[in-house]
Structure 1
Amino acid sequence: MGVLDGKVALVTGASRGIGAEIARHFGQAGAAVAVAARTVEAGTSPFEGTIAETAQQIRDAGGTAVAIPVDLSKPEERERLVSEATAQLGVPDILVSNAAVTYFVPVIDFTARRYQLMFDVQVEGPFHLAQLVIPGMREKGQGWILNISSGAARHPALPPGPRAGRGGTVYGMCKAALERFSTGLAAELYADNIAVNALSPTKVVPTPGTIFHHLTTEDNPNAEPPSVMAEASLLLCSGEPKTLTGRIAYSQELLAEQLRAGAQSAQ
């Protein structure tokens, strides 16, 4: 029996990287997983990984999964995603908003189109998807919403470090907005027994995106494996909603905290 048996999970940005690892982890825990992203077929993206591959990996491991292509920058696509996930698997118990479109460009050089696209996918997307799944969670009497954030949400120190000129300001803006949305929504939904949290990796995770942007390398011994984010996500999406909610959590710190709590309860 998995901790997510009988649950339906919708995971965005799940064709590769952290999102794919979360989707697979949730499938192993018993959830029926709607795997959502833009990349449907290999060769259509500069990065490896597709939603079809992630869904098949879950099924090959004995789980249940469907692949649903979606462009999260468009409101009508978000509505279709939730509608199709519900039709194929049932009303979502869990929403994980992980999708991202990111450009590392200094503010002075940022175009309006790229700025809007980043906010559409990373801020408006999670906001709208939450609006779409909340009614079903309320009917069920519980639910879990998890937004994947980043250490970029933290304010930079001054005088700045060597990474200040890499152009991460807009990315940080998006993640900071996502975190404030998460804590605010957690307060709004506390009485509904719906947990809302934001989760960041404690260290940079080697993914096709972070490697492409030269934030880390695949063999970096100080990097954080995607499995750590997946395990922390499972914890936040299976715990008692009124106990584990409203958190801006960092993966390794959260897992260490729960390990200590488990050891104390066993004494």
Structure 2
Amino acid sequence: MGSKRLDGKRVVVTGASRGIGAAVARRAAAEGADVAIVARTVNAADAYLPGTLGETADQLRQFGGRVAVIQADLADENDRDRVIAEAEAGLGGSIDVLVNNAAVALYGTVADYAFKRMRLMYELNCVAPLHLAQAVIPAMTERGEGWIVNVSSGTARHWQGPPFQLGGTGTGTTVYGASKAALNRVSNGLAAELHGNGIRVNTVEPRAAVMSEGARDLVGDIVRPDQIESMEEMVEAILALCDCPADHTGRTHISLDLISELGLDVRSLDGAPM
């Protein structure tokens, strides 16, 4: 059968109790990686939405690699401080790939948006990915290789107008999108600083809605079928950035465009042809 794409790699995936994070963790494990999964929700009793770290871990263990379960609130700096150390201890070595997927989306009109909510979104959606990246960079630099993938959003892009075509959520995604725009800029700057060290830093966003549990809760009643892309497509794009060449860095990707650019075949979350 030959080696799998991520054989021997140690991978950290945040926001892995459900949705895109859980799917990326599963695909990474199927590709031979040892995987540390990070989220707040370990048990079903604590879950607001379906999906827990315990359930994700059970899915990953079927592939035979190491699995580390790390409960952490990534909006809390003290929790973030311990994540990478615990992942290294659980997986038996330094981290090769960091996938920053955890995010919070709190929609609301801009003119009266609550600053407490804004601070929380920036802390989780932009500050936390940089904090974790800073924690993995020293070992990646020493090794001369590493991959950091930050999951972004199409809401980071400006509306053109007037007149403005706002869509079903109106201006409600503005502050969330601003936090993702900040993530794109930080990722690009980090990639520029690290270029030549063998560390790739990229962001990727879905072209259309990926109907995870969180997305269904937020916009499930207003998204048309033609506005949806599959979970497998989004994961394929993320995986492509987990083993991309050294000169593929500093870019903000759109999932389906990246798949087309690289001529990828979309596979199942277990790595099988579809």
The answer to whether TM tops 0.5 is yes
Moved beyond 2 Å, runs of 4+: 61-64, 162-166, 215-222
Would you say the 8 A contact 1:211–1:217 is kept in 2? no
User: Structure 2 length normalisation: TM-score?
Assistant: 0.90
1:7-156 matches, within 5 Å, as 7-89=9-91, 90-156=93-159
Sort the Cα spacing of 1:218 and 1:171 in 2 relative to 1 into closer, same or farther, 3 A. Answer: closer
Q: Tell me the number of residue pairs that the alignment of Structure 1 and Structure 2 aligns.
A: 259
Provide structure 2 residue ranges, at least 5 long, that are not aligned to the other structure. 265-274
- After TM superposition, the structure 1 stretch with the greater mean CA deviation from structure 2, 206-215 or 188-197, is 206-215
CA shift for structure 1 position 217:
7.2
1:155-197 per-residue CA deviation (whole Å, 9 max, x = no partner) reads 1121212436341110110110011111111111111110000
Matched, 1:232 2:234: no
CA shift for structure 1 position 215:
4.9
Distance 1:222 1:118 in 2: 25
SS at match of 1:67: strand
CA shift for structure 1 position 216:
5.9
Sort the Cα spacing of 1:186 and 1:208 in 2 relative to 1 into closer, same or farther, 3 A. Answer: same
Sort the Cα spacing of 1:190 and 1:66 in 2 relative to 1 into closer, same or farther, 3 A. Answer: same
CA shift for structure 1 position 20:
0.7
Equivalent of residue 172 in structure 1, options 152, 177, 190: 177
Percent of aligned pairs with the same residue? Answer: 44
Distance 1:238 1:216 in 2: 36
CA shift for structure 1 position 108:
2.4
CA shift for structure 1 position 241:
2.0
CA shift for structure 1 position 221:
5.3
Supply the RMSD in Å over aligned alpha carbons. Answer: 1.7
CA shift for structure 1 position 41:
0.5
1:30-84 per-residue CA deviation (whole Å, 9 max, x = no partner) reads 1111000111111312210011111110112333312111100111111111110
Distance 2:166 2:252 in 1: 26
User: Structure 1 length normalisation: TM-score?
Assistant: 0.92
**Residue in 2 aligned with 1:161?**
165
Distance 1:177 1:170 in 2: 11
SS at match of 1:213: helix
Q: Which amino acid aligns with 1:255?
A: I
Would you say the 8 A contact 1:211–1:218 is kept in 2? no
Distance 2:45 2:174 in 1: 31
Would you say the 8 A contact 1:205–1:216 is kept in 2? no
Q: Which amino acid aligns with 1:208?
A: E
Would you say the 8 A contact 1:210–1:216 is kept in 2? no
Distance 1:61 1:217 in 2: 37
**Residue in 1 aligned with 2:4?**
2
Distance 2:26 2:83 in 1: 19
Distance 1:219 1:160 in 2: 20
Provide structure 1 residue ranges, at least 5 long, that are not aligned to the other structure. 261-267
Distance 1:166 1:46 in 2: 25
Distance 1:64 1:228 in 2: 25
Would you say the 8 A contact 1:204–1:216 is kept in 2? no
CA shift for structure 1 position 13:
0.6
